[in-house]
Amino acid sequence: MSQTGNIARPRTVRDVVFVDGVRTPFGKAGEKGIYAGTRADDLVVKCIRELMRRNPALPAERVDEVAIAATTQTGDQGLTIGRTAALLAGLPRSVPGFAIDRMCAGAMTAVTTTASGIGFGAYDVVIAGGVEHMGNHPMGAGADPNPRFMSERLVDPAALNMGNTAENLHDRFPSITKERTDTYAAASQAKLAVAYGKGQIQPDLVPVATMKPGQGWTVNTVDEPPRPGTTVDDLAALRTPFRAHGRVTAGNAAGLNDGATAAVLASAEAAEELGLSIKMRLVSYAFAGVEPEVMGIGPVPATEKALKSAGLGIEDIGLFEINEAFAVQVLSFLDHFGIADDDPRVNRYGGAIAVGHPLASSGVRLMNQLARQFEEDPSVRYGITTMCIGLGMGATVIWENPHHSSYNSHNSGTETAVATESKGAAA
């Protein structure tokens, strides 16, 4: 008992819901890309402002935290970007913020970290996202790996190059041929083109005005990387830069890109109180480490952990949003779980091979796309967002569809729901 005689009230784990998510159009990194000359933090600010505009029922002072990820935390991606972006976006100065780094899974970690805070009761509403301006900050630029990595052979030097790790996956799984990866990559381009044609991508995009000397202002409203009409024959002719006579090319891997994402998450109670939409409910999440030399296999153990935590099996998952860092990485995941290369549950709108992969921002893109697919297909109850992570890790988040007919039975505060969330927060 405290000195005043009061007893701290017991805490219960609360449901966490995904309210809304947006992203900038993704651009190609480099001086010819749409965001050459644009600051990374300004891209994040665009996303935060759009989230607040799209959700007028959310008072700005009710945002309890802003978590923004970046892999290279320097320059316009430094200075505790979660806090600086919150200030630049015009949120009240009472709203705190922080920066986070888990390489490709930065935004995903921003979501799971703040979601844990919501579940614990520290937050009611948060904004979480990520940014990567690979034109301003090339991957690995300025990094200084500890010499022990080499002198003590803690990892193969090739593991510091993600393309080499993808070639290693091909070595480990010889059934994943270049022909299979090229076929998968061409399908990714085609699926994205169809999704654009149906207007399934555009609702999540925040227009970004950019200015270049001699060209004036341009309002960017679509992604720059896609190559609609790409064929398997086109991809077969590309060189293999990571290994002579290799299998990984620029066509069956994600490119170097610029872009930002952000999402609003809340407790189910706060969402109901404020009248906010609920697009998904967080069921469980997990991170796992693997050999850095084959980092692309990371989603497999992460998914197994997340499924075990949720008490689900892979057969319960009706939609998969898998980040396509490399086609071989996606196919190794599908092969492990006995899923066909062209399974209609997988990346219905295409993936990063087509749309781009601005490292730390991509996790929320996966969530945006899954949330829209949930709305379109109420027959699906559970879906996952998963990705591999540099230096040998994987991340998976399992979500529930609020449009499914059985959703309300898991939103009633029962012991089962609380137990599921408790395991997810501990994963």
CA–CA separation, 68 and 77 (whole Å):
10
Give me 16's structure tokens.
């966490």
Taking alpha carbons only, the member of 412, 393, 374 closest to residue 18 is 374
Give me 115's structure tokens.
């979601």
**Does the annotation mark 47 as catalytic?**
no
DSSP of 33-54: STTTT--HHHHHHHHHHHHHHH
Indicate the pairing of strand 382-389 with strand 393-400.
antiparallel
Catalytic residue among 133, 137, 357, 410: 357
Task: Decide: 277 and 20 in contact? Cβ < 8 Å.
Answer: yes
Name residue 20's beta-bridge partners.
Answer: 264
CA–CA separation, 118 and 120 (whole Å):
5
CA–CA separation, 269 and 275 (whole Å):
10
Name residue 14's beta-bridge partners.
Answer: none
**Does the annotation mark 357 as catalytic?**
yes
Catalytic residue among 47, 104, 133, 410: 104
Indicate the pairing of strand 97-100 with strand 65-69.
parallel
Catalytic residue among 133, 388, 404, 410: 388
Kindly provide the residue ranges of all beta strands, DSSP E only, lying in 62-194, ordered along the sequence: 65-69, 97-100, 125-133
In 10 A of CB 414, how many CB atoms?
11
CA–CA separation, 164 and 157 (whole Å):
10
- Secondary structure class of 394 (helix, strand, coil): strand
Q: Which residues are catalytic?
A: 104, 357, 388
